Chains A and B, each alone.
Chain A
Amino acid sequence: MPQSSYVHEVMQALKRDGLDEAIKLYHLSIRRRQPSNITEVARELIEQHIDVRIGKLQNRINEIEAQLAARKTLRARLQCGWRRITSFFIRGKPFPETDDENELQAELAEHKAMIEGLWRIKARLRAAEAGRAGVS
């Protein structure tokens, strides 16, 4: 297939929000043919897509961190303690505050890992193109 066909498929995948597919096709395109100006633009467009995802994940991380930080204030701790006591005496079971906090911590760790993964993918995209260009 000519390189423009690969690039066309990469663009179609990006339009569908199929980042994995776009990356796979991009790697295939530079493995089969020498990188050109058009593949460099395609790589940058994939990188933009990755950066948008990183931005969204970072926003969520900031939100979670703000929520967790708000729970660490003295007033929030007192309120939480009071809720636990009242719910234990009224409903007979403790207030599930810690479960919620654990969930947030897990989500935070997951998002951070995803960001690291996306950075690695970006680095690999650049390295693949540089390596292929170096071969020629």
Chain B
Amino acid sequence: MKKRVAKTAAAGGLGFLAGLLLERGLESLTGMDFVDGVFAVGGAVLASLQVNRDMVEVASKNIRDMFGKDPLEISEEEWNLYKEKYPKSAVYLEKALGV
């Protein structure tokens, strides 16, 4: 149990760092100011839930196959359509990504 908690905490920390680096990198590349810590927190959440990351990956691949675009690019209408058809996955995705 202790080992598992330590592993999850380590993965979460790594995810946080990766998210932070991504955020800073994007900010310096694009010059845009992102909402503080969104990527960092998102990275930590995803990294701390190892199984869930697989699910998020599969769900985003499915969304890409369904709508022909990246999950970040889908419109609200398309998201609502997805949510209506697959309510559990939509809620899960929203929770996992902290939307």
Name A's B-contacting residues (CB within 8 A): 4, 7-8, 11-12, 14-15, 37-38, 40-42, 44-45, 47-49, 51-52, 55
Contact = CB atoms under 8 A, between A and B. Distances in A.
A44 B88 contact: yes
Interface residues of B, number: 16
Contacts of A7: 51, 55
Contact of A15 (B57, B65, B86): B57
Contacts of B50: 8
A11 B89 contact: no
Interface of B: 50-51, 54-55, 57-59, 61-62, 65-66, 85-86, 88-89, 92
Contacts of A11: 51, 54-55, 57-58
Query: For the complex, would chain A's binding face be called helix, strand, loop or mixed by DSSP majority?
Result: helix
B7 to A, nearest CB: 13
A37 B89 CA distance: 10
Given A41-B92, A44-B86, A48-B66, A15 B61 contact: yes
A47 B89 CA distance: 11
B89 A48 contact: yes
B58 A14 contact: yes
Nearest to B87: A44
B59 A45 contact: yes
Give 9 closest A-B pairs by Cβ, nearest first: A11-B54, A48-B62, A44-B89, A52-B65, A44-B86, A41-B92, A40-B88, A14-B58, A4-B51
Nearest to B82: A48
A76 B67 CA distance: 35
